[in-house]
Chains A and B, each alone.
Chain A
Amino acid sequence: MLPAMTLFWRVVAINTGLLLVATLALVLSPATVSASLTIAELAVLAVGIVVVTAVNVLLLRRVFGPLERLASVMRRVDLTQPGRRITVERPVAEVADLTRAFNDMLDRLERERLSSGRRALAAQERERRRLARELHDELGQVLTGVGLQLDGLARSVPAELEEVVGQAQLAIRQGIGDLREIARGLRPGALEDFGLRSALITLASGVEERSGLRVRHQLCAETSSLPPEQSLAVYRIAQESLTNAARHALANQAELTLERCDGRLALRIRDDGTGFDPRAGAGTGLDGMRERALLIRARLTVAPVEPHGTEVRLELPLPTQSNGATP
């Protein structure tokens, strides 16, 4: 076939060729068609039409093959794994054009997805911050005030009410503690002030304190070169994984590791819980983790470990200028 020819001209060429062959066959062969059609002539014509149609179908299918291949490749494109572009072997001009247009569209989609994902996450973080602030500065102050009032009251109540006031004091203390915990989870203050490593240590001890999950951590020293967006993503993924381990997987122990190798940073959270059902994505925040990983161009894998448990692994390329400083 002529590679430079467009699809349109190929179809025209094939049909013209077939018409020519059929006409030549009629001219050169002894076959004739009389004014009143005989059965034999009808049979010859029918065979001729069938043959021409069959040849046409075969040739056209070959010509349209690249289009079909393109369509099937398009269907397999997965936006959760960005950066993949389609190629079609032996493309005709239109298919090459379509492939280019489709790849351009993928570029635009991925850019748009990245920026809208970033916007959504930034909005979420802003909202969390606002919530943390309101909880702490408004509700927290009211609870503190009421707690102080109860403390004062407790000293002058009649004996029969002492127990009730004591219970109220306890409840308000608990409430203040819970509120502070929620605010802290909403806004990782340690991350902004002291960096990823300190924030992860604070996170580990916080989870340990609240859930009883024993968290061993092994964290490499220098992560300061990480941009804020990436630090936040790493922190949130660690937070989500540890919460999952404690809450859903009923794990007793977890390991939190942060290491750097070959210019990459790897976060690993491994627990000894009941394991992980990949279909239970929604409740466990796995989608959110994937989204965060995607936005910082990191690779996230969630896999079971033997004999039981889950390992979450996040790998991301470190900014190049820090490679020289790697010990």
Chain B
Amino acid sequence: MIRVAVVDDHHAVRLGLHTALRSEPGLVPVGTAAGAAELEPLLYRTAPDVVLLDYYLDGEDGLTLCRELKSAVPAPAVVLYSAYADPSMLVPAIVAGADGVVHKGVPALQLFEAIRQVARGASALPPISAALRKAAALALDPEDLPILSMLIDHTAPADIMDTLQIERHELNRRVQRMLTALRPAAQPLRLDA
């Protein structure tokens, strides 16, 4: 039984996801939230296994929320659900700690599969092309490149801290810096799949 919480600022999407998740054996929608404020009590009350999180929340930032979710102990698995199929948002999603990224255009079954994967502890991230990696590297401080590589290779934060001989707060600071540098334009405008 995988318990799923949904965060999306569109009522229709919350409703649709709730109905779809309820129809899938093995998945249980535990509640929906329109944003961070509504999510907090929901997390506390239901402790979901997976949070299905809108990449672009109205007035908020899905990536920041994702990072907050992933820094909790124990952290739920997070699938970023995006209306834009822009590959350039993949790297920021990984840096923010997302376990999966799913485009809103895919059939429900594909979404369920991704939820099952991240619930098992696997990742549901599309592969990162060399061009994408290069573009991200150009935007980052060279000092942070090892962290990027390790994050892309799904290295656990504890191992990253070990490898680089840094404390948690230092890792957090640098991840935040990377996110700021990689943040997609304030307005997501990509429409091309």
Separation of A192 and B16 alpha carbons in the complex (Å): 33
> Does B104 lie at the interface of the complex (its beta carbon under 8 Å from any beta carbon of A)?
yes
Contact call B190/A152, Cβ cutoff below 8 A: no
Q: Could you say which residues of chain B place their CB within 8 Å of the CB of A183?
A: 191
**Residues of B with Cβ closer than 8 Å to A?**
10-17, 19-24, 83, 88, 104-105, 107-108, 187, 189-193
Cβ 8 A contact of B16, one of A129, A137, A145:
A145
Q: How far is the CB of A142 from chain B (nearest CB, A)?
A: 4
Contact call A146/B12, Cβ cutoff below 8 A: yes
Contact call A152/B16, Cβ cutoff below 8 A: yes
Q: Could you say which residues of chain A place their CB within 8 Å of the CB of B21?
A: 152
Contact call A141/B190, Cβ cutoff below 8 A: no
Separation of A187 and B10 alpha carbons in the complex (Å): 23
Q: Could you say which residues of chain B place their CB within 8 Å of the CB of A155?
A: 23-24
Task: Closest B residue to A153 by CB, please name it.
Answer: B19
Separation of A147 and B88 alpha carbons in the complex (Å): 26
> Does A216 lie at the interface of the complex (its beta carbon under 8 Å from any beta carbon of B)?
no
Cβ 8 A contact of B190, one of A145, A147, A193:
A193
> Does A144 lie at the interface of the complex (its beta carbon under 8 Å from any beta carbon of B)?
yes
Interface of A, helix, strand, loop or mixed by DSSP: helix
Contact call B22/A202, Cβ cutoff below 8 A: no
Separation of A189 and B184 alpha carbons in the complex (Å): 14
Contact call A141/B12, Cβ cutoff below 8 A: yes
Separation of A148 and B187 alpha carbons in the complex (Å): 25
- Place the interface of chain A in its size category: 20 to 34
Separation of A147 and B107 alpha carbons in the complex (Å): 9
**Residues of A with Cβ closer than 8 Å to B?**
129, 132-133, 136-137, 140-149, 151-156, 176, 180, 183-184, 187, 189-190, 192-193, 202
Can you show 27 pairs from A to B with CB atoms below 8 A apart?
A136-B191, A141-B10, A142-B10, A143-B12, A144-B13, A145-B10, A145-B14, A145-B16, A146-B12, A147-B16, A148-B13, A148-B20, A149-B15, A149-B20, A151-B107, A152-B16, A152-B19, A152-B23, A155-B23, A156-B23, A184-B191, A187-B189, A187-B191, A189-B191, A189-B192, A190-B192, A192-B189
Contact call B15/A180, Cβ cutoff below 8 A: no
Contact call B189/A145, Cβ cutoff below 8 A: no
Contact call A189/B189, Cβ cutoff below 8 A: yes
Cβ 8 A contact of B23, one of A146, A151, A180:
A151
Contact call A141/B83, Cβ cutoff below 8 A: yes
Separation of A147 and B104 alpha carbons in the complex (Å): 11
Q: How far is the CB of A190 from chain B (nearest CB, A)?
A: 5
